[in-house]
Amino acid sequence: MSLKVTLFGGTGQGKTTYTLALLYMMASGIDGFRIEAKDADTTTKYLNPWRDFVMAKRWPAPTMGRREDEFRLLFQNEFVTDFRWVDYQGGAINVPSDESEEAAQLHADIQESNAFIIVADAYIIATRPQIEAELLTSSAYIFNLLNNYKFRGPGAESGVTITLVLTKADILPPEYKADNYRALYEKARTVFRGVTQFIAELRAPTSRIPPWMYPAAILPVSIVGDGNASVIDPGQGYDLATISLDRSPMPENIHYPFLYAIGNELDRIALTLEEQEQDLAARLNKLNRNVLNKILRGRTIRELHQERQAVAARLQELEPKIRAVTSVANQKMISLVP
Ligand SMILES: Nc1nc2c(ncn2[C@@H]2O[C@H](COP(=O)(O)OP(=O)(O)O)[C@@H](O)[C@H]2O)c(=O)[nH]1
Ligand SMILES: [Mg+2]
């Protein structure tokens, strides 16, 4: 069993570019954290398009289908956990699981994930009419899936970490950058109001679920850095903006959402995983067969249970050290609910 982060977002929101930049930065290590791919080929697969991006100023090709890769997360050169990163073509969010293999896989990913990084285009949120921004970012689809598989589904008490990454912050109109992105946060919370309101309800004094079960935060990021890219055509309808990369990219803020997700997960899992495992079988048996088979991948529920227990023990051991580092990310991120 590994820690699992699912990257969520509609087509063209910036998931693949974000992933390439993050893995490039994390491969050399940031703040004591380092990511190693399971094998050298995986690393090459991610480094090549990143090199083309930096050297030839060529954006990564659109993702075909779902892509899952295994990594190892290290902290001060100590193994923390295996770690799976799932990126897929935006389309899978918008299809029912009985109609598409990829959608069934996505539903299983959601059910099994510890953390979600929702990737949404800040430029779309700022410049499109609200209702178009909702559809292009797939905010309602994302809420629907989270709601069914995490918030209200079996296992809601175990919580989940949610990070909303607002990409392409570099090309935002100045009024959305002003005052520490105040106008952007406001619009993003409205576009993602399903998730935001759900979290807000949990923060109410009457809620029986403690706030640390559902850490949720937001941050604008840029893979290229301010002033290094320009909008050639703002786009309309389904067509998103055409953007040229003019100078060498200088990624900004991109590792914080990741460290936030990881750090809060380690905290939360160490505290809840063991007890949550008690009713694992009951929870899994409530799932659609198709989705359950994807989660088990040939294992029995008992084997899955044992793998999870081992992770919990390991995390408990490392947690105090890791907390020292992730507190930086916690301070940098802005709470989803003001
Ligand atoms: N200005 C700017 N544009 C970006 C940035 N990240 C992505 N883009 C643009 O968004 C497009 C789609 O990104 P991609 O990662 O393929 O989106 P995905 O479909 O969610 O994987 C890219 O081709 C770029 O034009 C960024 O940080 N700044
Ligand atoms: Mg992609």
Tell me the average pLDDT across 186-197: 97
Please tell me the number of Cα atoms within 13 Å of 249 on its side-chain side. Answer: 29
Q: Measured from the CB, is residue 16 less than 6 Å from ligand 1?
A: yes
Distance (angstroms) between ligand 2 centre and the Cα of 64 equals 7
**Domain at 3-335: CATH architecture:** 3-Layer(aba) Sandwich (3.40)
Helix axes 139-146, 193-203, angle to 10 degrees: 40
Q: What is the pLDDT of residues 204-254, one digit of tens each?
A: 888 878 777 899 999 999 999 999 999 999 999 999 999 999 999 999 999
Distance (angstroms) between ligand 1 centre and the Cα of 63 equals 11
pLDDT at 253: 94
| Single-letter amino acid code for the residue at 7 | L
Q: Which residues pair with 36 in a beta bridge?
A: 72
3-class secondary structure per residue, the chain? CCEEEEEECCCCCCHHHHHHHHHHHHHHCECCEEEEECCHHHHHHHHHHHHHHHHHCCCCCCCCCEEEEEEEEEECCEEEEEEEEEEECHHHHHCCCCCCHHHHHHHHHHHHCCEEEEEEEHHHHHHCCHHHHHHHCCHHHHHHHHHHHHHCCCCHHHCCEEEEEEECHHHCCHHHHHHHHHHHHHHHHHHCHHHHHHHHHHHCCCCCCCHHHCCEEEEECECCCCCCEEEEECCCCCCCCEEEECCCCCCECCHHHHHHHHHHHHHHHHHHHHHHHCCHHHHHHCCCHHHHHHHHCCCCHHHHHHHHHHHHHHHHHHHHHHHHHHHHHHHHCEECCC
Distance (angstroms) between ligand 1 centre and the Cα of 270 equals 35
Mean pLDDT of the chain: 85
Of the chain, the end-to-end C-alpha distance in Å amounts to 34
With CA atoms as reference, report the closest residue to 31 among 270, 329, 331, 264.
Answer: 329
- Band of pLDDT at residue 279, cut at 50, 70 and 90: low
Tell me the average pLDDT across 252-280: 76
Q: Measured from the CB, is residue 254 less than 6 Å from ligand 1?
A: no
pLDDT at 1: 41
Q: Measured from the CB, is residue 11 less than 6 Å from ligand 1?
A: yes
To the nearest whole percent, how much of the chain has pLDDT over 90?
A: 41
Instruction: Pick the atom of ligand 1 nearest to 224's CA.
Output: 27
What pTM did the predictor assign?
Answer: 0.87
Tell me the average pLDDT across 11-16: 91
pLDDT at 234: 97
Question: What is d(CA 261, CA 165) in angstroms, rounded to the nearest whole number?
Answer: 11
pLDDT at 6: 82
Residue 62 near residue 89, CB atoms below 8 Å: yes
Distance (angstroms) between ligand 1 centre and the Cα of 142 equals 19
Tell me the average pLDDT across 193-211: 87
Q: Are strands 334-335 and 216-220 parallel, antiparallel or unpaired?
A: antiparallel
Neighbouring residues of the ion ligand 2, judged by CB less than 5 Å? 15-16, 63
Domain ranges of the chain: 3-335
Instruction: Pick the atom of ligand 1 nearest to 167's CA.
Output: 27
Q: Which residues pair with 252 in a beta bridge?
A: 222
Ligand located closest to 119 CA: 1
Question: Which of 243, 247, 255 should be mutated for ligand 1, with most atoms under 8 A from CB?
Answer: 243
**Nearest residue by C-alpha to atom 4 in ligand 1:** 168
Tell me the average pLDDT across 301-318: 75
Tokens for 136, please give them: 């292009």
Find the range with the poorest average confidence among 44-58, 129-143, 205-219, 294-308: 294-308
